Structure 1
Amino acid sequence: MNSNNNPIGIFDSGIGGTSIWKEIHHLLPNEKTIYLADSKNAPYGQKSKEEIIALSMKNTEFLLNMKCKLIVVACNTATTNAIEELREKYDVPFIGIEPAIKPAVSHSKTQIIGILATQGTLNSALFNKTTEKYQDTKIIEQIGHGLVQLIEQGGINSPEMAKLLRSYLTPMIEANIDYLVLGCSHYPYLIPQIKKILPTHIQIIDSGEAVAKQTQKILREKTGFSSAEKGEPIFYTNTDSKVLAEILENKYTLEKIDF
């Protein structure tokens, strides 16, 4: 396949999808990436399906105007509520992100796993269709009320965050889970906090590495790889970029847009 130096587009309802971007950039460092943080509308998890679809289409069109060769929907809520509509409407490959239930179920010894996710993800038809496959495993679902907002405000290590996480995770620990699935791309930034609460035998799973590998596969099969030696990332946000800059350790180009 011929090389293709057009960028990979990535969008999320804010800064959380940078956890996915980091995995993609690590695996495919020569690919140019454009990341769109729709923080003004975060969190998507409390919006209606129609609102999520409309925002996802708006984000997609922004990235297509930047000539992106494929689009990563780095948001569980947008994936579970809108990716089918995006694939029907736009002639570009889409890669979604879903809670990594399958590896948790297949490795669980207690046959009890926990999922921490947004309301939009847990209530979606796609999520429920996925969980129906695993009737033999008890799946404890917990909506992460307030977590995305705190992360967007720079409160990852705040006392309020620790209090919320403890209230969400304690019932799962008491129910004897041995795997915790993080069902929101914001949540990997909470892993250090979560590890302070969970017993050491409980494994934490997120989707970042799997999404990066799927991105590599689609580049190989459909769009072509970049021939550049190094891919420069660009980040766009429609709110104050301070928290995004901190998450990215002030290493990359950030542009604030009215979007």
Structure 2
Amino acid sequence: MSIGIFDSGLGGLTVLKEVRKIFPNEEIFYFGDTARVPYGEKTKELIIRYSKEITDFLLTKNINVLVVACNTATALALEELKAVYDIPVIGVIEAGVRSALSVTKTNEIGVIGTKATINSEKYKQEIHRRNKDIVVYQKACPLFVHVVEEGLLDGEIIESIIKHYLGDFDDKVDTLILGCTHYPLLKKEIQKIYPDLNLIDPAMETALDLKKVLTENNAAENKGGHVKFYVSDGVQNFRNIGSMFLDEEIEDIELIKL
């Protein structure tokens, strides 16, 4: 068995980290589309095209299951990928919603994400599909992706950006879904400013969804535990920043032009 994971860049490593906690022995192929990040300001048609190109590439590695570790691609391309490809395809939105609904006490949930994710209203639709009584507040936070990709995870600039975006949620929500896989890298800073806010990182729930899918498909366990990384640009930057929040060195990385 081998697992394919892709994201627009570094953010999907938060999902990879959780997947490896559950599946330390599996062979994993990770693709970060660093040449075309961020996805959140691009059209649905482009996101679908990029997602298919990456999936086609990962299929050459004989993956058995695909994890779309990108909220924008999940929102705009997941259903298309499920329809086109004959392997299980897992996204991150349902996982985040499920987790948020389990912890909210006030039935007021905030969602932050890229412009494309927020405009798609996929989170709001999924929340209301499960519970129509939830009040949902949404906000696009496009700068978060840029600062994370630059490795700026704390300090006065980050604190100012967080307050700029999340000030609108003051006293309105008790739970906030980090609706972009880049955003958990800012989790410590967000929690420092808003200590009473339940922050939902969909990565852990996504890994549990993957476990369920693999169990249902009776997937045999590997014993290698190797992760191969591919990026479409910026190998050294990806290696430096990615190693920082994976808490291990990224060695096996290759530049791929799609």
Residues 23 and 209 in structure 1, CA contact (< 8 A), matched pair in contact too: yes
Q: Give the AA of the match of 1:54.
A: R
Q: CA deviation at 1:188?
A: 0.8
Alignment match, 2:168: 171
For 1:84 and 1:218, the matched residues in 2 are separated by 17
2:108 is the counterpart of 1:112: yes
Per the TM alignment, residue 125 of structure 1 is displaced from its structure 2 partner at its CA by 5.3
Matches within 5 A, 1:69-80: 69-80=64-75
RMSD: 1.7
Match of 1:58 among 32, 48, 53: 53
Q: How does 1:33-44 map to 2 (within 5 A)?
A: 33-44=28-39
Q: CA deviation at 1:128?
A: 4.1
SS of match in other structure, 1:46: coil
The CA distance in 1 between the partners of 2:121 and 2:107, in whole Å, is: 23
Residues 44 and 76 in structure 2, CA contact (< 8 A), matched pair in contact too: yes
Cα 1:211–1:162 change in 2 (3 A) is same
TM-score by length of 1: 0.90
Match of 1:103 among 93, 99, 108: 99
Partner of 2:228: 234
Q: Which residue of 2 aligns with 1:93?
A: 88
Distance change >3 Å, CA 103–CA 131, structure 1 → 2: same
The sequence identity of aligned pairs, in percent, is 34
How many angstroms does 1:159 deviate by? 3.5
Q: 1:209 aligns to what?
A: 204
Superposed counterparts of 1:1-259, under 5 Å: 4=1, 7-98=2-93, 100-124=96-120, 126-133=122-129, 134-175=131-172, 177-198=173-194, 200-222=195-217, 224-228=219-223, 230-245=224-239, 246-248=241-243, 249-259=248-258
Where do 5+ consecutive residues of structure 1 fail to align? none
Q: Which moved more, 1:124-133 or 1:107-116?
A: 124-133
Amino acid aligned to 2:254:
E
Which amino acid in the other structure matches residue 152 of structure 1? E
Aligned length: 251
- Structure 1, residues 137-191: CA drift from partner, whole Å, max 9, x if none? 221111112111121122222543221111111221243x211111011111111
Deviation of residue 223 (structure 1)? 5.7
Q: Is the 8 A contact 1:14 1:37 kept in 2?
A: yes
Structure 1 CA distance, aligned partners of 2:217 and 2:126?
26
* Closer, same or farther: CA 227–66 of 1 in aligned 2, 3 Å: closer
How big is each residue's C-alpha offset from its partner over 1:42-95, in whole Å with a ceiling of 9 and x where there is no partner?
Answer: 111111110110000001001001111111000011011111111111111101
- Deviation of 1:231 after TM superposition, in Å, equals 1.0
**Partners of 1:10 and 1:218 in 2: CA distance:** 15
Aligned-partner SS, 1:157: coil
- Using the size of structure 2 for normalisation, the TM-score is 0.91
AA aligned to 2:154 is N
**C-alpha distance in structure 1 between counterparts of 2:115 and 2:136, whole Å:** 15
Q: Which runs of 5+ in 2 are unaligned?
A: none
- Does the residue aligned with 1:132 lie in a helix, a strand or coil? helix
Alpha-carbon distance, 1:105 to partner: 3.3
